[in-house]
Amino acid sequence: MSTQAAKDHTEGHKIPLLVDDHTVTTVRESKILVILRGLPGSGKTSLAKEIEQKFKDNSRLISADNHNIKPTIRPSDEGEYSKMDEELNTCCERREANLVILDDTHHDQERLNGLFDLANKYHFTVLILEPKTPWRLDCGQLKDRNHWKLSLEELKNLRPTLEKELVPLYFGWFVMKRDEDTLRKTSHDFLEQLSNFKPFRKRLQEYGYEDKHKLDLLKYFGKTPNILHCTTKYCDYGKVAGSEEYAKMEAVKKGYSKAYILHITALFVTPRTAGARVELTEEQLTLWPQDAEKEVMPKDTFPKGSRAHITLGTAADVQDVQTGIDLLEFIKLQQSGGEKEDLGEICGGKIYYYENGMWMLNLSRKIEVKTIFSGYYGKAGVTAPQRGGKKALLPTCEIM
Smallest separation (angstroms) from ligand 2AM to the CB of 320 = 3
45 binds ligand 2AM (CB under 6 A): no
Among 174, 234, 268, 352, binds ligand 2AM (CB under 6 A): 234
Q: Is 213 known to be catalytic?
A: no
Q: Which of 9, 106, 107, 229 is catalytic?
A: 229
How far is the C-alpha of 149 from the C-alpha of 234, rounded, in Å?
40
191, 196, 198, 203: CA torsion to nearest 10: 60
Choose the binding region for ligand 2AM from 74-82, 182-190, 320-328, 331-339 (rule: CB under 6 A). 320-328
Q: CB 319 → ligand 2AM: shortest distance, Å? A: 6
Q: Annotation-wise, does 186 bind a ligand?
A: no
Q: Could you confirm whether 229 is annotated as catalytic? A: yes
365-394 mask for ligand 2AM (x: CB under 6 A)?
---------------x--------------
Sole window of 74-82, 210-218, 261-269, 317-325 interacting with ligand 2AM (rule: CB under 6 A): 317-325
CA distances for 295 relative to 180, 340, 373, 395, angstroms: 28, 27, 21, 40
Of residues 129-188, which lie at the interface with ligand 2AM (CB under 6 A)? 169-170
305 near ligand 2AM, rule: CB under 6 A: no
Find out whether 270 is annotated in a ligand binding site. no
**Closest distance of CB 227 from ligand 2AM, Å:** 10
- 324 contacts ligand 2AM (rule: CB under 6 A): yes
| Shortest distance, position 310 Cβ to ligand 2AM, whole Å | 7
Q: Give the active site residue among 106, 107, 188, 309.
A: 309
Q: Does 320 bind ligand 2AM (CB under 6 A)?
A: yes
> Which of 144, 161, 138, 139 minimizes the C-alpha distance to 74?
161
Q: Which of 323, 371, 374, 386 binds ligand 2AM (CB under 6 A)?
A: 323
Q: Which residues bind ligand 2AM (CB under 6 A)?
A: 169-170, 225, 231, 234, 311, 320-321, 323-324, 380
Known binding site for substrate: residues? 231, 311
Active site residues: 229, 309
